[in-house]
Amino acid sequence: MTDQTPLDRLTAKLRSIHHLRDAAAVLSWDQETYMPSGSGAIRAEQLATLQTLAHDQFVSPEVESLLAPFLNCATGDLLPEQTASLDAASQSLLRETWRDYSRAKKLPSAFVNELERECSLAQQVWATARKTNDFQLFLPNLERMVVLKRREADYLGYTDSPYNALLDAYEPGSTVTQLRPLFQTLRTELVRLLDLIRESPVQPQANLMTQCFDTAKQLEFGRLVLKHMGYDFQRGRLDLSAHPFTTSFHPTDVRVTTRVFERDLPSCLFSCIHEGGHGLYEQGLPSAHYGTPLGEAISLGIHESQSRLWENSVGRSRAFWQYFYPKLQDLFPDQLGSVQDADFYLAINRVNPSLIRVEADELTYNLHIMLRFEIELDVIEGRLAVEDLPDAWNAKMKDYLGIVPTSDAEGVLQDVHWSFGAFGYFPTYTLGNLYAAMFYRQARTDLPDLEKNITKGNLLPLKDWVNDRVHRWGRQYTSAELIQRVTGIPLTPAPFIEQLTEKFGNLYQLPATASHP
Amino acid sequence: MTDQTPLDRLTAKLRSIHHLRDAAAVLSWDQETYMPSGSGAIRAEQLATLQTLAHDQFVSPEVESLLAPFLNCATGDLLPEQTASLDAASQSLLRETWRDYSRAKKLPSAFVNELERECSLAQQVWATARKTNDFQLFLPNLERMVVLKRREADYLGYTDSPYNALLDAYEPGSTVTQLRPLFQTLRTELVRLLDLIRESPVQPQANLMTQCFDTAKQLEFGRLVLKHMGYDFQRGRLDLSAHPFTTSFHPTDVRVTTRVFERDLPSCLFSCIHEGGHGLYEQGLPSAHYGTPLGEAISLGIHESQSRLWENSVGRSRAFWQYFYPKLQDLFPDQLGSVQDADFYLAINRVNPSLIRVEADELTYNLHIMLRFEIELDVIEGRLAVEDLPDAWNAKMKDYLGIVPTSDAEGVLQDVHWSFGAFGYFPTYTLGNLYAAMFYRQARTDLPDLEKNITKGNLLPLKDWVNDRVHRWGRQYTSAELIQRVTGIPLTPAPFIEQLTEKFGNLYQLPATASHP
């Protein structure tokens, strides 16, 4: 103990607090996968106790006293004499720890406890409401949640919009002012492409993917792809849950989930690849920095870029299926044995406005996100009442995608996010798509044999590349710094638009697309 | 908050501490069932943090200040003026909370942390050592564990033997002085019966149970029996683990595990019934008292009585199989279709000295326990070195059961208990057998139609009886008080000996057994 430096002591404390958060994560994973249906109430209490305790410990005078040797605890500025000799990683550790600490410090313990309890309960009510298509059942929970999130924004403080305070939790540095024009540009391009695709004479066979596919074999295939991606099953698991997710309790224990439907081949397949991308990020974080910000992912947008990179840039590419399609045909000879690879490739890239975000295609997906972003912004800024959400949802679905859900289960109730208070989360999905296209373009430059390797089922060079460029740094860089560092340019939607234009231009034989971006 | 009585405040605090213990229990369950193999080290850290924190909170000045209005914190004596008006349950709550508090208070936090960490690690080393039949691998962990448990006994204090301090954790009130003569009487009777059985011309068909039984169907049957027992799957689960166990995070979330082997029908079947008995106890504890001693089981001996009651008194009875055997035959027509029920009944009650405790028959099982009791007593009292355990084990196996393991995996490494520091635990298994026979004899008196109901597959009257007589009281009574209250007499081995003598006398057509006890 006497050999510990002040930084060691800070790190040890952060680590033991992290154990509590990890325990809560295990309890949450269990709740979504194996927990008996009758024990929801007590699980909410247990989670609230753990989260409150972790919060209390983190904002305790002990942590402040461990930070005090390094920074001004009023402003967060590093003390030059004490930190100038530290390496860049340690300075980042202090900067990011301060960021978390000062945010947490603003939230009273009783509020955190109340929020945690409401999140756990509301999630369970949401699950029932979605199953029984009963928005009214969920309404009181959602109303309480919006009140709590507005209070959270007030506690945290913000400029321009309370939404910025919430967004900042998921994508530090991002603001409504930044997102509006970004999404506007993107929307124009997406709608232009979508219109061209609608008019194309080329159209995929709609029923290829809705044949009957044995669920055990689907899972077997998902597992196979995960192994090829380098997802380590000695340090991870694949389970079933209502909504696919990835959770981590340490880089040695990173778990992904999927769901599987007999008459929907892409659902299980692409959620495995998607969550696998998240899983690789978590498995690729540096164990040595576990418990500190340097052992954590930068932001949800960067996290999502890792899943989208694998799901779309890789998993929906011709190169990928050159290797994997024969294997899929072997598993499902009756369903796919006589289907040409080009037809299969077109089918998994089918652009088709649909109701459910997580099943949406690569292009229209982002219109789902914009809908949610605009609606939740209106709710948080007080322009839209929670009880009016279903109508607002349906109106925007009609406007953006030209279709309207026939039930709330397929509409406003489809996503779990709001039930655990995740307002400001959705935009990170589209940010993830943009980052992913930027990373993938760079990877193709850095790894000239990338696609040749993919056609041989060798996905490990790409895994090593993201491990090296993204994962191993934890939060040493901000997302803006990382994207600049890796790609040489700041965030831009251009590579994403180019990627879609090139792919769908070829697939749907669109006119004049080659010259566009 | 202002309406809270001092007892409410104490209860609320105990409950929030219990949330931490429950979280640790979820992490332990996960470790034994689904945790990836590569994450053992971090799980040990996480568990140690949770247990240390729960311990620290329990021995905190806050708990003492919550107890102070009711009792003398130096002696534990209830303050008459403050507690005379409380009901018996509240007085028991205070008495038992004090018992736990004063025990915990004696253990330094650093010691608890060290012990937890060692337990979690040692369990994982044990699992590998058993798999690879390598006692030397486990030896250093076991040596450290013995040192830690002796230190624990020293911290706790004891009279006569350090073993008493450890035993008291599992079976409050029990001592070496009590167990020695009890076990002596029992051993004499068991050996007498065993000798008679060995000489009997009646012998079961040894190979009935080692045919090939599909594991999925075995699990289906185990689940069927659990449902008949009234085990509530809305508040519980059945999973697989290396060693069957029951764990509870609240009466609404009680989980049992089993293991299943294709060529061993009784293993999965009886472990399901056994763990189901434990599970019913946990599901039957009063939710209103969750987190306090009144929401907990009395002792491991009483706990074991609940599993043994179902496993042996019910699950190995003729009445039970009158209903369930045709169902088992339907599941396994090739293996059992032509096997007479009398032959099946004899086979599941086969008395046969064997190597593995958990697979042992109802009679010789207790000889396994006596062996462990004597050996661990010698280790804790310092008469036997840990490195000499394998030899001591094998010598006693020869002496008591007439057989010697050919490997440590089938010998000294077979049980998980010592790897998590559970010295003093084994005797509670035999105490459980004795209690179970006392309870069952009483249930037959109280419920004249008991066996008739069992022959119809109606096990719920017995479930209701144990719910009412045992489960719902939590720790309101000590085990000695409970057994006296329910059966009218103190602990005695006579009913157990009678039960065995009657059953095996009939089954093996033993001479002069009817007149014996």
Tell me if A34 and B38 make a contact (CB, 8 A cut-off). no
- Average confidence (pLDDT) over B156-161: 96
Q: Residue ranges of the alpha helices (H) in A381-478? A: 389-401, 427-446, 450-455, 460-469
Write down the mean pLDDT value for chain B: 95
Q: Report pLDDT for A2.
A: 56
- Average confidence (pLDDT) over B21-42: 95
**Residue A356 in domain:** no
Q: Does residue A198 share a domain with residue A135?
A: no
DSSP state of A212: -
Q: Does residue B359 share a domain with residue B257?
A: yes
When pLDDT is cut at 50, 70 and 90, the band that residue B1 belongs to is very low
Domain count for chain A: 2
pLDDT higher than threshold 90 for residue B248: yes
**Residue B513 in domain:** no
**Residue B512 in domain:** no
**Residue A404 in domain:** no
Rounded to a whole number of angstroms, the distance between the first and last alpha carbons of chain A is 60
Q: Report pLDDT for A1.
A: 47
Dihedral (Cα; B281, B283, B288, B289), 10-degree rounding: 40
Q: Is A196 helix (H, G, I), strand (E, B) or coil?
A: helix
Closest-CA residue in chain B for A256? B36
**Domain assignment of residue B415, given as a range:** 176-507
Low-confidence ranges of chain A (pLDDT < 50): 1, 513-517
Give all strands of the β-sheet with B246-250 in edge-to-edge order: B236-240, B253-258, B246-250
**Residue A361 in domain:** no
Which segments of A264-309 are extended strands (E)?
A: none
**How far is residue B408's CA from residue B393's CA, in Å, rounded to a whole number?**
9
Q: Does residue B354 share a domain with residue B448?
A: yes
Q: For residue B448, give every residue at least 6 positions away whose Cβ sits within 8 Å of its Cβ, in sequence order, or none.
A: none
* Test mutation, B49, B113, B232, B257, chain A, max A CBs within 10 A: B49
**How far is residue A346's CA from residue B486's CA, in Å, rounded to a whole number?**
73
**How far is residue A347's CA from residue A345's CA, in Å, rounded to a whole number?**
5
Q: Report pLDDT for B2.
A: 56
**How far is residue B203's CA from residue A219's CA, in Å, rounded to a whole number?**
48
Q: Report pLDDT for A120.
A: 82
* Test mutation, B239, B252, B283, chain A, max A CBs within 10 A: B252
**Residue B442 in domain:** yes
**How far is residue A372's CA from residue A374's CA, in Å, rounded to a whole number?**
5
Q: Does residue A65 share a domain with residue A190?
A: no
Specify whether B275 is catalytic: yes
Q: Does residue B195 share a domain with residue B113?
A: no
**Residue A447 in domain:** yes
* B1 contacts on A by Cβ (under 8 Å): none
The angle formed by the CA atoms of residues A94, A98 and A100, to the nearest 5 degrees, is 120
Tell me if B34 and A234 make a contact (CB, 8 A cut-off). no
pLDDT higher than threshold 80 for residue B512: no
Dihedral (Cα; A91, A92, A93, A94), 10-degree rounding: 60
**Residue B162 in domain:** no
Q: Is B7 helix (H, G, I), strand (E, B) or coil?
A: helix
Q: Does residue A466 share a domain with residue A326?
A: yes
Residue of B22, B38, B290 lying closest to A234 (CB–CB): B38
Sign for the CA dihedral angle at B455, B456, B459, B460 comes to negative
Tell me if B26 and A27 make a contact (CB, 8 A cut-off). yes
Q: Report pLDDT for A116.
A: 83
pLDDT higher than threshold 60 for residue B514: no
Q: Does residue A436 share a domain with residue A304?
A: yes
Tell me if A19 and B45 make a contact (CB, 8 A cut-off). yes
Q: Does residue A232 share a domain with residue A100?
A: no
Segment B353-371, tens digit of pLDDT:
999 998 899 999 999 999 9
Cα B398 from chain centroid? 26
**How far is residue A412's CA from residue B335's CA, in Å, rounded to a whole number?**
54
Looking at residue A382, its amino acid is G
Predicted ipTM? 0.90
Q: Report pLDDT for B3.
A: 78
Q: Does residue B492 share a domain with residue B385?
A: yes
Q: Does residue A294 share a domain with residue A212?
A: yes
Q: Does residue B458 share a domain with residue B338?
A: yes
Q: Does residue A319 share a domain with residue A233?
A: yes
Q: Report pLDDT for A54.
A: 95
Segment B112-144, tens digit of pLDDT:
889 988 998 898 899 999 999 999 999 999 999
Q: Report pLDDT for B515.
A: 40
